[in-house]
Structure 1
Amino acid sequence: MAEQQPVKPFSYLALFLALAFVSLFIRLLPLGERGWLFPAPDVVLCLALAWVVRRPDYLPALAIAAVFFLEDLLLMRPPGLWAMLVLLGSEFLRRRAATLRGLNFWFEYLLVAGVLLTMFLANRLILAIVMIPQPSFGLSFAQFLATVFAYPAVVALSHFVFKVRKPATGEVDALGQKL
């Protein structure tokens, strides 16, 4: 009898896509003319990076690229630039997921914050080189800080509510393959 593939990665992919679309819907709502005092963090970015670090098999690169490209189009950012930077950052972290497995959360947090800072600065630099108007540096930096500070909360939510945990050393999946 043929073995069935586990459904778990597909359910987590569907959950990520649903959360991304809900977040995008909320960001597109016209909530009034008065702006917030502090810019909101990019929760979808935190979620993507947290899941890539914890369980890289739950979130394929194509899904990350598609979600952030759609965000680029709907939020009127230069199409593909932020999606490319997020994809590069997430793949950098995906390659280091096995190394981060045994390390403390704070080392992971510092690495993710460094990747976020690199993505933020690369985005600003590329937009400046091609002379595209961009928001003020202070506003962009405030959103970067909000995203960095939101990362631990998103990791806690992923860990305790969605059960996205780092695999233990030597843990195998349902097919007997090492995670």
Structure 2
Amino acid sequence: MGDPLRRDVLLHRAIYVAVALFMLFLRLLPLDSTAGRLPGPDILLCLTLAWVLRRPDYVPVLLIATVVLLEDLLLMRPPGLWTALVVLGSEVLRSRLALTRELSFLMEWLFIAMLMLAMFFLYRLAFAVTALPQPGFGFAMAQVLASILVYPLVVGLSRITLGVHKPGMGELDDMGRRL
């Protein structure tokens, strides 16, 4: 018999990879070729940050790096730049788990918004320093704002459909271990 806790963690990791691949598949589909439309939110970033805050054991750093690097390669972004920023952002969250565990959702949302904005500005700064062409500021900022606005929806869907929630201070798993 396998460890039920281990099986749950592996199941959620597989779900994370499946959702990431599905979101990547949708981004690669040529659904609409009309120019000038506003960009959609980065749902994979929202999902990653939400899960790192709630259950960091579901999304280890190597899994995050692999998934986002694959996204970088398939979307033809500079390989590793966005990956490094997402890993850095998720590790900032992971290092502050004790502080964020008891935050209200509004404060958590504000913290995530500031983190997303910092990642956005660092990404643009790296492009500016290397003199790479980049999309217009307003266009890119619209995607960040859309991601910030969709974050509560991603958290809610993760909670309702998959049971990914923030453990309380003294909460134990089924095996009696602290979460």
Q: Counterparts in 2 of 1:26-175, with a 5 A limit?
A: 26-35=26-35, 37-175=37-175
TM-score (norm 1): 0.95
The one-letter code of the counterpart of 1:56 is: P
Question: Relative to structure 2, which stretch is displaced further, 141-150 or 167-176?
Answer: 167-176
Q: Distance in 2 between matches of 1:111 and 1:39?
A: 23
Identity within the alignment, %: 49
> Structure 1: 5+ residue runs without aligned partners?
none
Structure 1 runs of 4+ aligned residues shifted over 6 Å read: none
Q: Give CA-to-partner distance per residue, 1:82-121, whole Å, 9 cap, x none.
A: 0000000011011112221112001111111111000000
Q: Distance in 2 between matches of 1:68 and 1:111?
A: 21
Q: Distance in 1 between matches of 2:109 and 2:3?
A: 36
Q: Distance in 2 between matches of 1:11 and 1:61?
A: 17
Q: Distance in 2 between matches of 1:56 and 1:123?
A: 24
Shift of 1:56: 0.8
Paired residue secondary structure (2:103): coil
Question: Relative to structure 2, which stretch is displaced further, 35-44 or 135-144?
Answer: 35-44
Q: Distance in 1 between matches of 2:139 and 2:35?
A: 12
Provide the residue aligned with 1:14 in structure 2: 14
Shift of 1:36: 6.4
Q: Distance in 2 between matches of 1:160 and 1:36?
A: 35
Q: Give CA-to-partner distance per residue, 1:123-149, whole Å, 9 cap, x none.
A: 000111011111111110000100010
Q: Distance in 2 between matches of 1:62 and 1:97?
A: 18
Shift of 1:59: 0.7
Paired residue secondary structure (1:161): helix
> Structure 2: 5+ residue runs without aligned partners?
none
The one-letter code of the counterpart of 2:171 is: E
Paired residue secondary structure (2:37): coil
Length, aligned pairs only: 178
Q: Distance in 2 between matches of 1:5 and 1:138?
A: 47
Indicate the RMSD between aligned Cα atoms, in angstroms: 1.4
Question: Relative to structure 2, which stretch is displaced further, 119-128 or 35-44?
Answer: 35-44
Paired residue secondary structure (1:58): coil
Q: Distance in 1 between matches of 2:23 and 2:116?
A: 19
